[in-house]
């Protein structure tokens, strides 16, 4: 059954513009942590992905996860908006090694019996979910030594949430870090990636080890 949150995200999905078929480097799949094309670090922060079980929380149209499948990862993408899994399957299913489901991040993590080596989220479910609820669940479903990573915009004043069904967690880096340590992660690194042009918003990329 659809929830008010799923309906909001479905309306967001309806406005989606497909990513370019080929990037500036001439490749047809790639992972992009930032909100700008051809900008920022690649997937290296996730470590060697061959044979690793990877979960993306809020996988959207699936383009980032598709790239990890080409690198030999066994990939699962979940997204709360139902049309996203359909589109991702139609677009990237031919690659093999990846599956997409419709689910809320908290529900999926509570229910799954799979243990993941890598969990990540790009402007995705991590940004829109209470970390106190989410991070311990992520940790519980990760193998020891695995990598958890996520990106979003830098901290900003929290907007008035009265009546809002969804909102972004605009946490400063030290709060992301504290929440990760509290949930059983170590080696926490939070880096700010400057925007490609002065005056524009940068990106915060946080990564930690399940240990």
Ligand X SMILES: C[S@@+](CC[C@H](N)C(=O)[O-])C[C@H]1O[C@@H](n2cnc3c(N)ncnc32)[C@H](O)[C@@H]1O
Site string for ligand X, 48-77 (x = CB under 6 A): ---------xxxx---x-------------
Task: For the chain, give percent helix, strand, coil, nearest 5.
Answer: 30, 25, 45
- Paired tokens of 158: 């929290």
Report the run of H or E that residue 138 belongs to, with start and end.
helix 131-140
Burial of 162 (0-12, 13-18, 19+ CB in 10 A): exposed
Is residue 43 part of the contact set for ligand X (CB under 6 A)?
no
Residue closer to ligand X, measured from CB, 51 or 164: 164
**Which residues, 177 to 206, sit near ligand X by CB under 6 A?**
none
Q: Which of 49, 66, 69, 125 binds ligand X (CB under 6 A)?
A: 125
Q: Minimum Å distance from CB 150 to ligand X?
A: 10
Is residue 9 part of the contact set for ligand X (CB under 6 A)?
yes
Q: Which of 85, 98, 122, 190 binds ligand X (CB under 6 A)?
A: 122
Residue closer to ligand X, measured from CB, 66 or 210: 66
Is residue 105 part of the contact set for ligand X (CB under 6 A)?
yes
- How far apart are alpha carbons 157 and 135 in whole angstroms? 22
Q: Which of 124, 139, 171, 190 binds ligand X (CB under 6 A)?
A: 124
Per-residue b or e along 19-53, where b marks 16 or more CB atoms closer than 10 Å to that residue's CB = beeeeeeeeebbbbbbbbeebbeebebbbebeebb
List interacting residues with ligand X (CB under 6 A). 9, 57-60, 64, 78-81, 84, 104-105, 122-125, 128-129
């Amino acid at each position: 059954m659809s929830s008010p949150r799923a309906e909001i995200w479905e309306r967001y999905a309806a406005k989606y513009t497909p990513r370019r078929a080929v990037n500036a480097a001439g490749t047809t799949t790639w992972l992009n942590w930032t909100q700008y094309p051809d900008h920022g670090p690649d997937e290296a922060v996730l470590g060697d992905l061959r044979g690793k079980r990877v979960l993306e929380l809020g996988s959207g149209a699936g383009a980032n996860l598709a790239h990890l499948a080409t690198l030999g990862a066994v990939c699962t993408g979940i997204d709360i908006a139902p049309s996203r899994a359909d589109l991702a399957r139609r677009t990237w299913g031919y690659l093999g090694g990846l599956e997409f489901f419709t689910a809320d991040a908290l529900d999926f993590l509570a229910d799954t019996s799979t243990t993941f080596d890598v969990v990540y989220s790009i402007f995705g479910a991590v940004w829109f979910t209470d970390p106190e609820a989410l991070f311990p669940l992520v940790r519980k479903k990760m193998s020891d030594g695995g990598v958890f990573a996520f990106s979003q915009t830098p901290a900003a004043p929290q907007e008035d949430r009265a009546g809002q069904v969804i909102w972004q967690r605009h946490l400063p880096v030290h709060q992301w870090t504290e929440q990760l340590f509290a949930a059983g992660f170590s080696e926490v690194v939070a880096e700010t990636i400057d925007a490609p042009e002065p005056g524009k918003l940068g990106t915060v990329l946080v990564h930690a080890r399940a240990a």
